[in-house]
Each structure stands twice: as C-alpha cells, then as structure tokens.
Structure 1
Amino acid sequence: MHDILIAIGTNVIADRIRFVEECLEQCFENVRFTHTIPTEPIGERFKGKQFFNAVMAGNTNLAMSEVEEQLKLIEQLAGNTLDKRNMGVVEADIDLLMYDDVKLHEKDWQRSYIKELVERIKEMKS
C-alpha cells in the first residue's frame, strides 16, 4: 500500500471541490481531506479569479503513473478542458504532491497555502 498526498484546486465554485473529493473517495483508500480554503490566483491569465484549495491524504495499491491517470480522468469528469484553462477557468486542478516518499510538483511545495494545508493534514493523522 502506498501513501499519497494530493492537491485539489478550482476557480469556479468551492462546491466543485466536493465533487472532486467524492471521486477521490471512490479511487483511493483511507482518504481524508483538509477543509477548503480560498487562495489568490497565481499567473496573469487567472488574475481576479479566486481559487479554492484543499489537500487529500490516502492510500492506494496503484502505481504512481496509474494514480496520475486517475487524477487526469477526474479533472475531465469535473469539466476541465484545455480551452477553459486557456480562458482562465479551472474546473478542477488535481496534482499528486507525494507518492510514498517521492515529492512531486516542487514549486507547489513552496506555496504558503500548500504548506498550510499539508500541515493541517499531518495534524489530522496524529
């Protein structure tokens, strides 16, 4: 069983996070989520569009590549398209932050809201 940590974001409506969480609960085991927090957009094309973010911790028997495939599928189910992204609309952004001890998306780890949410998920475990 592998430990996973996943970042979830949207700039559409906070309720979109709940849809993503329900999908993640079906794909992974021992799932727990932080609460959703509002965050400022990063990048010019997203300027003026508040984001909502959360972090999920859980377990899986899937390989890392299979987890990433599942996350892309969930993004599509949430309505994500390249055209929408190009217009600054992010229905769902779901990134695998950690797979066992392997950290991914290094820039995300430097963001204050990721640090805050990861700390909260750690507190939930203890």
Structure 2
Amino acid sequence: LVTGPTGSGKSTTLAAMMDYVNENRYQHILTIEDPIEFVHESKKCLVNQREVHKDTHGFSEALRSALREDPDIILVGEMRDLETIRLALTAAETGHLVFGTLHTTSAAKTIDRIVDVFPAAEKDMVRAMLSESLQAV
C-alpha cells in the first residue's frame, strides 16, 4: 500500500514500481485507475489498464472482473470503499500481488482505516487477512 495525503506522490510512486516490474519481469499487470495517470506500454509484462467510468463502472466491479483475467499483479488506484478493499484483500490472499493507495498519513492509520471500514463482526477476520497478506505500507 502506498499512502499519503493528496499530492504526496502516491500515483508517481506506484507508476515507478509498475515500470520497474514491467522492465524486469514477465508477468501480467492489470491496473484499475480513476483516471489513468501514467500510460504503461508493455515491455516484458503484458499490461492492461482499466479506467473507472470509462472501461468499468467502479473499482469493485473492475476488481471482480480482474480476478477472471488471470493477472499476476493488480494495481488498484484508490481503495475507497468496503467492497473494493474486500476484493483487494481476497485477491492478495489468492496469490495476486496487489498494489493500492489510501489517503492516510502513517502505517498505523492505514491499518486502522482498512479495519474500520468493515462491520464489527468482521474486524478480527480482516486483521488476520492483513497479517497474512500485507507486504508493505
């Protein structure tokens, strides 16, 4: 997860990470963005970019479709709502490398934001999912 306030370079950081992967690995990258800020030409990777409200209705719908396209890496431009976060966690648990952004100012606040979006009955499960799939904030 790449976090920070508006204008802090979250999208630029993700673009640099995707570019590095694209130049060094043979994988399938699927991005879901609103809007697409950086166009990635396929180098070693197959890169498919989806723009919310143009190619798909929303982040959660695009993520649901993405899981049927067999990507190795999924970039979620913004993890704004419960369903998007739930699907991103599911994708990470099923072996996909998932990158995403959140508007938070620290690693601890990032975890709190993710957990707090879920109903009380699911919070322990979400903490367990995060502990098993989260690689970096």
What TM-score do the two structures reach when normalised by structure 2? 0.26
What TM-score do the two structures reach when normalised by structure 1? 0.28
Identify, as 1 or 2, the structure richer in strand. 1
